Structure 1
């Protein structure tokens, strides 16, 4: 299968490496002046992996799009709309777009598949998402994991799972696109909360964070029309180890550095996602105390210890409303 991976950061480069490794014809595409693209083009290496010579590289978007049967996009989620403006200038009929980033567009509250849907006719250009746990640092060492591919197009979903499955990544067929996308995006917000607890030396509280975080994200998924049980799957709860505990998690590290007063220089998708989810919670009248606390700390200047205290002072209620 001919695949173009648009975006050559940490995860984008790993996807290109993985798809080449399992036998696909891969182009890795990045912005001409981006440091990560220049480094990969010139050295075929970055901080995580080495590209074989079989992976072709280009900064020409038309070349990448024309090559592909499947276009995999792995960029900052908040830049997707502007990027799709350029991608959509090309003929996308008969191609499949696979989104490998996790977020919600903060200006509209739209899931990322909905953003792409604003630019394409899905009957001609199906959209899928690829979500779940895993770090490049583990995959390149041969440590396997499980992930999910989801789409409204059942045949495309089955084909992608069949083509991309291997003994390194076991793929599952997603059954709830809303839940898959919201769950995947929300785990980054919970990851920031976990990092905050680490920074405060409250690491033992992360078990409670996992339990209660999953419950509130399940409520949001249900309110948006998805299946609340998706929050307990690979898109969300299944990604907690990689996001709430791993030293390689950008979102966890962001939260820890925030407490310590250290400037975090890399992308932490959970920052803007906390705002997007907070606004969705307000719009759909969903109680999201952890998301709201993270939002208040990041955007309203709230005191971290005060937010934790308020969480503990909330009125007593049943653990499960069943």
Structure 2
């Protein structure tokens, strides 16, 4: 099949590498002036992988979309609506299958990424999400993992799983798009909290964070109309090892650097996601203690140790309330 990958950062370049590896024709797009694209054009390499010569590189968005049967989008979640403004000018989008390979919620609205796609490009545009555990650094070393693809329509999910399954990635069918998107996005917030615990030398508390964080998000997903059990799958809890413990996790590293006063090149996606989650929590009148604590530390500049320890001083309650 013909696959276009839009976005040539760490994950975009991986998706191009992976799609070519399993036998697809691949075109990788980067915006004009992108240093990631310039490096790939000059050397076919970045710090993670080497792209084969059969992967075509371009900065022509119309060309990339026209080429593809399946379009993978791998950009910053907060840039998706603006990016859709460019896409909507292109013809025949209804004939494409889109796969969002990023995680997040739109700040200011709290909307899911598939909702943004439908609002900007129309509900007839078929869109799925591809999320779950794994790091580029591990995949390129031939370490396999499991991931999940979810869409509103199961037929699209099955088509995409058939297109991308391989011995390197075992895919599962996601049956709850809402829960998959919320869980995948919120996982990054738990990653920030885990990094903060590491920064305070409280790493032993990450077990409690895993258990209580998952329960916290299950209540939210259920309140929003999704399946509360989805959060216990690959999109959220299944991704915790890669996010709460891995040295490769951007969100975990950001949380640790934030606590220890180190400089960071860019904000982690969880910084935006926690803002959106607090808006959603207010809308649904639901308490999210861990998310609220992360928000208070990052956005309200509260004292980190004091705020994190408050979580352990809350009133006693039944575990599954």
TM-score interval, smaller chain:
over 0.9
**More deviation, 15-24/112-121:** 112-121
Task: Provide the rounded CA distance (Å) in 2 between the counterparts of 1:135 and 1:154.
Answer: 26
CA RMSD, aligned part only?
A: 0.9
- Residue 250 of structure 1 contacts residue 266 of structure 1 at CA under 8 Å; is this kept in 2? no
Task: Provide the rounded CA distance (Å) in 1 between the counterparts of 2:312 and 2:138.
Answer: 36
- 1:28-54 alpha-carbon deviations (Å, 9 max, x no partner): 101121111111121110010000001
Structure 2 unmatched ranges of 5 or more: none
- 1:115-135 alpha-carbon deviations (Å, 9 max, x no partner): 011122333x20100010110
**Correspondence for 1:52:** 52
**Correspondence for 1:95:** 96
**Correspondence for 2:112:** 111
- Once the two structures are superposed, the pairs formed by residues 267-278 of structure 1 within 5 Å of their partners are 267-278=267-278
Runs of 4+ in 1 over 6 A off after TM superposition: none
Task: Provide the rounded CA distance (Å) in 2 between the counterparts of 1:274 and 1:267.
Answer: 12
Output the TM-score relative to the length of structure 1.
0.98
Task: Provide the rounded CA distance (Å) in 1 between the counterparts of 2:62 and 2:31.
Answer: 12
- Residue 32 of structure 1 contacts residue 38 of structure 1 at CA under 8 Å; is this kept in 2? no
Secondary structure at the residue paired with 2:162? helix
Structure 1 unmatched ranges of 5 or more: none
Task: Provide the rounded CA distance (Å) in 2 between the counterparts of 1:32 and 1:43.
Answer: 17
**Correspondence for 1:135:** 135
- Once the two structures are superposed, the pairs formed by residues 155-174 of structure 1 within 5 Å of their partners are 155-174=155-174
Aligned length: 320
**More deviation, 139-148/89-98:** 89-98
Task: Provide the rounded CA distance (Å) in 1 between the counterparts of 2:167 and 2:306.
Answer: 46
- Residue 180 of structure 1 contacts residue 230 of structure 1 at CA under 8 Å; is this kept in 2? yes
Structure 2 vs 1, CA of residues 171 and 267 (structure 1 numbering), >3 Å: closer, same or farther? farther
- 1:54-97 alpha-carbon deviations (Å, 9 max, x no partner): 10010110011101111110010000000010011101121011
Measure how far apart 1:267 and its partner are: 4.9
**Correspondence for 2:121:** 120
- 1:222-279 alpha-carbon deviations (Å, 9 max, x no partner): 1111001011000000000000000000000000000110011145110100100111
- Residue 9 of structure 1 contacts residue 36 of structure 1 at CA under 8 Å; is this kept in 2? yes
